[in-house]
Structure 1
């Protein structure tokens, strides 16, 4: 019998949640086949079988939290497909041997016999590794936990429920009024639906709150006239697509403008480590992508070395991988600055939150035609977009942030030079 364990995933990943078992008990599995999909803080990864055999038991079900090294299943290398766990058979063989013992005269004192029964009941508890770990953390006796699993297996949520019940009893004794108030906050007279947050959503929430607590975040706003960008795209889009096999979108213009501005204002391309400022001499630009599971920010590497076609190609590929849940850890790590486009959802103005440990992020919004007063006092209808630059005031002064955003605006309003220099 071989155990299926959670392998080392990445340096920054030590735990995850079982999203889906890709095989079921009794299935034949070949070495290298994916057996389970694991949801981590950033990406979903597949755990592959390290040996061939039949999956005879799943010890950690879907939705359970597991850590590196935890046993999540068992495989029998010599079993035939369709085999079931051997545990019930072993128990049935042991039962006849245990019956005579029960009929023997009791020589021990009632107290000792009680202790023996208690210890035996603890050993007989069927629980997942995650549940046993959780019980140790909460100091809960597994034999006192009531499992909801019809097969009697104790899961982490059962342990949490038992701990909550103990805490409620203690709270009830100390303060009945306090418990009443808490109930009023959490219970509703009308129908509600409670949905467990995914691990990724929990991580997003934790990181966003962390940024607001740790960084001195401010946002500066400006607006950009995209007349020339739209004109240039209209002139070049067909030849561009024919030559490079990719569409000329807006993101390449914004990415190249950001890189140009970061070269002039390098503190927005830095980060804080302890009492040091790390000045990054590379331009790895994160492009926020919205997926069904939440926002992810894959990184366009060395954006300063790519031409417009290269940037568009990278963004398209990373976006597809994000929506197909095919992103790898290396696709998300190491960005130096981020761009997020709320305009695709109709946002007119918003304050983007920093993608820690980065100290700058540019927010794009929707394009609206507005009447603008031109230098000669005439009024023209122009396609305008509000831009928002959030920055960490701990190392970036307001003057520098404002000037950086103005520089982005200037380059977008004169995209011909940007395209030639890009």
Structure 2
């Protein structure tokens, strides 16, 4: 009997939560085949079978917390799917033959069992292909995965297929009212719904509270005129796509501007370790990405060595991996400074929370046309964006923080400087 254990996932990960079993007891699995999805604080991982055989037992259930190295399933290398070992089956049939003659009905029922098991095994082998996030959403919504019609030409069910399927029954079931209306938790019989927080959401909540309790966080604001950047993008966007195969977005300009400002104000690229400051001489910029399972911050490595095309390609690749739940631990470790763009959701003004142990985070916001005074007599409507810099006041003084943000503003309003300064 082979034990399936929770594998080592990284130095900082010691436990996880079983999201779902991808196989069932009695299923045959090949070596390297996925059998379970594990949700951890940072990434989702799929556990594989290290040996071929038949799954004999699941020791833990979906939703259970498990530790690295813990046995969660057993696989029998010598068994065949849907039945017991041939030797023991033969012996049992011989010893039970006399009884079967006396109890013909019982014998007939026993003959049918293997067929039923084979049918069950066949069904599990034919279970539809689906991404882990799609299976998880379907399970949370109580939707049978095999009732969902995929739009992917390969037949793989994706999250959007589950969401589209959910809209159909929702309209039909509205008159019935959800079971939550009878929940005793509601005030005066009002409907409520209780939902367990995912492990990632619990971790996000814990870390954000810790940051506010352990740092002297302060936020300073400024605004930037986006006219020059938008004009430059308009002139160069087609040629840029033709040459590099990626779009010229705003994030490459802000990443370049942040790196330039960090070089001038290095304490914002540092962290506190005990009674020492660790001032980093490299620039690994975290880019906050919102996903269905929570906010993640993959890291763009050595951003100071990348051109505009390299930055856009790198951010695009990290964003896709985040949306597809394919980020690895290495993608999110070791950032020195973070950029978050609430403007894509329409945010006009916010105070971003630090991504510990970093001591600085830049918040971008919605671009909005506003009247701007050109001189004492003239106004113009300009595309303006509010910028917010949250910083740890323990090591960064107000003068340095404000100067950093002014430098970012200057570089964005005169983007040629970004090209000249590399």
TM-score by length of 2: 0.75
- Residue 192 of structure 1: aligned partner: 192
Deviation at 1:208, TM superposition (A): 0.2
1: CA distance, partners of 2:409 / 2:370 = 17
Contact 1:232 1:416 in 2 (8 A): no
Cα drift, residue 185 of structure 1: 9.2
Which whole-Å deviations, capped at 9, do the CAs of 1:184-233 have from their partners, x for residues lacking one?
A: 99866311000000000000000000000000000000000000000000
Deviates more, 1:218-227 or 1:376-385: 376-385
How far is 1:84 from its partner?
Answer: 7.2
Q: Does structure 2 conserve the Cα–Cα contact (< 8 Å) formed by 1:21 and 1:37?
A: yes
Superposed counterparts of 1:390-405, under 5 Å: 390-405=390-405
| Structure 1 residues 273 and 32: CA distance shift in structure 2, 3 A | same
Q: Is 1:360 aligned to residue 377 of structure 2?
A: no
Corresponding residue for 2:316? Answer: 316
Q: Could you list the runs of 5+ residues in structure 1 that have no partner in the other structure?
A: 93-183
**Number of aligned residue pairs:** 327
* Corresponding residue for residue 230 of structure 2: 230
SS at match of 1:222: strand
Contact 1:268 1:337 in 2 (8 A): yes
Label 1:238 to 1:376 Cα distance change in 2 as closer, same or farther (>3 A). Answer: farther
Task: Report the alpha carbon displacement of residue 420 of structure 1 after superposing the two structures with TM.
Answer: 4.0
Cα deviations by residue, 1:251-304 (Å, 9 ceiling, x for unpaired)? 000000000000000000000111111000110000000000000000000000
Q: What is the CA-CA distance between 1:82 and the residue it aligns to? A: 2.0
CA–CA distance in structure 1, aligned partners of residues 20 and 7 of structure 2: 16
- Mapped to 1, the partners of 2:281 and 2:56 lie a distance apart of 53
Contact 2:185–2:192 under 8 Å retained in 1: no
2:70 & 2:377 partners in 1: Cα distance? 71
Q: Check if 1:414 corresponds to 2:414.
A: yes
1 CA distance for matches of 2:313 and 2:84? Answer: 49
Match of 1:280 in 2: 280
Using the TM superposition, give the Cα deviation of residue 329 of structure 1 relative to its aligned residue in structure 2, in angstroms: 0.2
Distance 1:379 1:305 in 2: 39
Alpha-carbon distance in 1 for matches of 2:84, 2:209: 46
**Where in structure 2 are the equivalents of 1:73-88 lying within 5 Å?**
73-83=73-83
Contact 1:270/1:278 (8 A) holds in 2 = yes
Contact 1:308–1:419, Cα closer than 8 Å, also in 2: no
The equivalent residue for 1:305 is: 305
* Secondary structure, counterpart of 2:386 in structure 1: strand
Contact 1:56 1:83 in 2 (8 A): no
Taking the TM superposition and a 5 Å limit, the aligned residue runs for 1:164-243 are: 189-243=189-243
Q: Is 1:343 equivalent to 2:346 in the alignment?
A: no
Aligned alpha-carbon RMSD (Å): 1.9
SS at match of 1:46: strand
TM-score w.r.t. the length of structure 1 is: 0.75
Q: Give secondary structure in 1 for the equivalent of 2:189.
A: coil
